[in-house]
Every structure is written in C-alpha cells, then in structure tokens.
C-alpha cells in the first residue's frame, strides 16, 4: 500500500542527526524521495543508508545551509534528481549561547544566518521552481498542494535567557512563515511552523556530556546547564522531554493531505510547556 507521501520530493536540512534525521526517515517510510542535507558527509550518509534500508530514494546535498548559493544548490539537487519539489523542511540549526553583554557579533550573526537567513534563501530559490511547476499543472488541469514546514522553538515564542540570537532568529522564522503563507497561497503551498520545546537531542543535552559541533572551523559547545535542564523537565506537563520521533510526527502532520487547509500557523510541540 502506497505511503501518505508516496513519490513526493522533500528537502530536509540538518537531516544527519536528531530531529532532522527522524523527519527524513519518517518521510521515507511514507514513500517520499528525500534530499538529505547535513554539514558533514558522514552523518548525511548514515541517514541515507537508513533511508535506503527502507527501500526509499534519497540524495545528499552536503554543506553549510548558511553558505552563499546553498539555497540554489539544494533546490537544484531535488529538481535535477527527480524533476520536482513538493516539501521543504527548514530544520538545520545550532545554538551558541551567551548573555547579551558577552555575545559577540560573530555569535549573533552565525545563529541568525543559519536559523533565519538560510531558510529565506532556500525558499527564495524554490519560488521560481514551484511557480513553474504550478503553471505546468494548471495547464494539465491538475492541482498539487505543496508544503513548507519551518522549525522554530518555544525560545522564539517566549524568550530564553542566554539565547538572544537564537530566540530572535526563531521569532523571525515565525514571521517569515506567516508572510510566505500569504504570498504562496495562490501557488497552492501551505507554509507552517513547528515550535519545539525540550526534545532529546544534542542541543538539549547536559553540558557535562561534552557534545560539540564544528562549524566553519569553530568548535561550539552544545547543550544546556544541568540545573536548567532539570527545571525545564519538571515544568513540562507531560513530565518528560520529547523524543525525536515525536518531533518528526509534528512536522509530518503539516505535510499530509489532511492539513491542506492549514497555513500560516505555528504548531507548538512542547509536551504542554508554556513559557521558559
């Protein structure tokens, strides 16, 4: 029996690990063809191996989403391989926290570029492609609904001490989402956002675990202070952090036909956590 997303062409950024990987695998199980992006080739290949084991199709587009020209590259990868583009998930990101008086311009700009400028560039590059596909479909008497899901955070909704850049970027992505929902409605594209709370990933791990990311030659420590982590966990009404599979499920909800009339919305996936 065909999956819910059978033969749909999906781009998932940051798909080598964590939530992005779980999204890519969920899509693959439902029959989608997935463009797998990660900063590094190794994690991207791990995700692709898992996708292939499911009998699904995939292709890699390795690189920094914030790099100039990357938006055009990842869109071209999808179109060159499968001739179309149906789903875009802007998921790639990292945190580089500091209180504002200690935050450097470099910290600020790196986070803004990855979480806000990169999605803008990818969506800008996708618009002419989608518009062309829609014209062809209209001429053939067809109507195809396409999906964009941008990833935000409860930090962008409520603010988070020590995360001025991250909170600002995640607040910005909700504004971009609402604007494109208005601009792209005529193209039969729904544009929505998922704001995650505490999900069990490297970004939300204990600092003591020693997780790091290397971005453009910079080693950035990942995680949350153990005391903050414990406090947040206690405040979640469901009593625990979410899993990456649960996070992927929230994104999936906004890509299936049942959500074809939902656009310009932010779905909060936080186990009931309100505020930080």
Domains of the chain, earliest start first: 9-268 (3.40.50.720)
Whats the size of the chain, residue-wise? Answer: 276
According to DSSP, the residues that pair with 269 across neighbouring strands are 196
What pLDDT is recorded for position 120?
98
CA 183 to chain centre: 20
Annotated active-site residue 261? The verdict is no
- 270 pLDDT exceeds 90? yes
What pLDDT is recorded for position 160?
87
3-state secondary structure of 40: coil
Q: What is the pLDDT of residues 55-64, one digit of tens each?
A: 999 999 999 9
Count other C-beta atoms under 10 Å from residue 190's C-beta: 22
pTM of the entire predicted model:
0.91
3-state secondary structure of 275: coil
* Cα gap 6→255, rounded to integer Å: 12
* Cα gap 235→222, rounded to integer Å: 22
At 209, is the pLDDT very low, low, confident or very high (cuts 50, 70, 90)?
low
At 226, is the pLDDT very low, low, confident or very high (cuts 50, 70, 90)?
low
At 274, is the pLDDT very low, low, confident or very high (cuts 50, 70, 90)?
confident
More confident residue, 128 or 213: 128
Average pLDDT value over all residues in the chain: 92
Q: Are strands 87-90 and 9-12 parallel, antiparallel or unpaired?
A: parallel
Q: Exactly one of 166, 207, 252, 261 is catalytic; name it.
A: 166
Tell me which residue has tokens 């962008």.
Answer: 156
Number of H-type helices and E-type strands within the chain: 9, 9
Give the whole-number percent of the chain exceeding pLDDT 70: 89
Count other C-beta atoms under 10 Å from residue 217's C-beta: 5
Q: What is the pLDDT of residues 3-24, one digit of tens each?
A: 999 999 999 999 999 999 999 9
3-state secondary structure of 193: strand
Tell me which residue has tokens 């869109």.
Answer: 75
């Amino acid at each position: 029996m065909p999956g819910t997303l059978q033969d749909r062409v999906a781009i998932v950024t940051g798909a080598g690990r964590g939530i992005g990987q779980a999204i890519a695998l969920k899509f693959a199980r439902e029959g989608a063809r997935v463009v797998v992006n990660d900063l590094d080739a190794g994690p991207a290949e791990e995700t692709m191996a898992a996708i292939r084991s499911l009998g699904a199709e995939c292709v890699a587009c390795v690189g920094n989403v914030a790099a100039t020209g990357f938006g055009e590259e990842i869109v071209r990868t999808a179109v060159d391989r499968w001739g179309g583009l149906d789903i875009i998930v802007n998921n790639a990101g990292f945190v580089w926290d500091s209180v504002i008086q200690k935050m450097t311009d470099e910290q600020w700009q790196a986070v803004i570029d990855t979480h806000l400028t990169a999605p803008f560039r990818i969506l800008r590059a996708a618009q002419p492609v989608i518009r062309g596909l829609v014209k062809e479909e209209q001429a053939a008497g067809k109507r195809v609904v396409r999906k964009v899901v941008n990833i935000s955070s409860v930090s962008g909704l409520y603010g988070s001490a020590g995360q001025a850049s991250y909170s600002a970027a995640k607040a910005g992505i909700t504004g971009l989402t609402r604007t494109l929902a208005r601009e792209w409605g005529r193209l039969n594209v729904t544009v929505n956002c998922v704001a995650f709370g505490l999900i069990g990933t490297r970004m939300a791990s204990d600092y003591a675990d020693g997780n790091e990311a290397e971005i453009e030659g910079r080693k950035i420590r990942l995680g949350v202070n153990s005391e903050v982590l414990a406090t947040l966990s206690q405040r979640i009404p469901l009593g625990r952090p979410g899993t990456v599979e649960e996070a992927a499920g929230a994104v999936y909800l906004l890509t299936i036909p049942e959500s074809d009339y939902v656009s310009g919305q932010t779905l909060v996936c936080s186990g009931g956590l309100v505020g930080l």
